[in-house]
Structure 1
Amino acid sequence: MNLSNLCKLLPLLLLPAVVGCGSSAPQKATDEQNAFAAIEGLGDIAGDPKMFATAFVDGSAPDNADEYAQRGYEVAGEGEVNGDQMTVPVKIFGGVFASSSSDRGKKASDAGNTTQTWTLQRVNEDWKIKDAPLG
């Protein structure tokens, strides 16, 4: 394998350590990548009310964070930017297991797969979720 192919395969974090692979400056995430990260990480932070609220534009966080915590999210297409707003198709899927205090765990979320259009708003340099319907 030549050096060029090796550089393409190494994770971005290791690129500065490899001699001859180009710039040692890390690549900055694009606006779209930052927006998509806010969407795809929502299920992980939904269990923490403060973190959940910070993912949304002030005053727009839904009251049903528990429902968001029981689902997973995946960007399902290209985002469309219009000024400081972006609309993104989001695949919402169930199947995340929730535990209970009883001896038996709850079954996986009954929510099926659906795709909804979410709206994000640029707040300073960050993309925050403005509207995130579950279906």
Structure 2
Amino acid sequence: MKKRHLLGLLLALHLCIATGCGSSGAIQPTDEQNVFASVEGLGDLAGDDQMFASAFVTGAVPDDRKAYGTRGYQVTGEATYDGDTVTVPVKIFGGVHATSSGESRSSRASNVAETEQTWTLQRVDGQWKLKDAPLG
């Protein structure tokens, strides 16, 4: 989890240096980049109830938050857009150590089988949020 945050900060710093921080010509992420980030960052958000809930549209938050934290997610193909809805193929894999605030680090990684699912996201107030994200 910490490595992802560090890589994100380094990427943001690199973009800031390359484009000039605060300049009007800053590069904005594409819809596709935002969709992919919403999917691939879900494991990190699962460590906190509020952050996890904020990743989903109202009424779609799964009850098994901790199960999402023990898996990793990778978009494996093209996103299909239909207005403010998008579907993406997602590879779900185990082997991610579960951590969250107030809990001790898991000594074992998740040993769930790798699977691929189709997830649906919806644009809500300009942000892509998960609407349907089955684990398998």
Task: State the TM-score, normalized to the length of structure 1.
Answer: 0.79
Counterpart residue number, 1:117: 118
Q: Root-mean-square deviation (CA), in Å? A: 2.1
Correspondences of 1:48-87 after superposition (within 5 Å): 48-87=48-87
Counterpart residue number, 1:41: 41
| 5+ long unaligned stretches in structure 2 | 1-13
**1:24: Cα distance to partner?**
6.6
Bigger Cα Rg: 1
Letter paired with 2:67: E
Counterpart residue number, 2:5: none
| 5+ long unaligned stretches in structure 1 | 1-10, 18-22
* TM-aligned CA distance change 1:49 to 1:25, over 3 Å: same
Structure 1 or 2: more helix by fraction = 2
Identity, % of aligned positions: 57
Counterpart residue number, 1:91: 91
Aligned pair partner of 2:17 in 14, 21, 43? 14
Is the contact made by 1:76 and 1:90 (CA closer than 8 Å) also made in structure 2? yes
Stretches of 4+ moved more than 3 A in 1?
Answer: 98-101
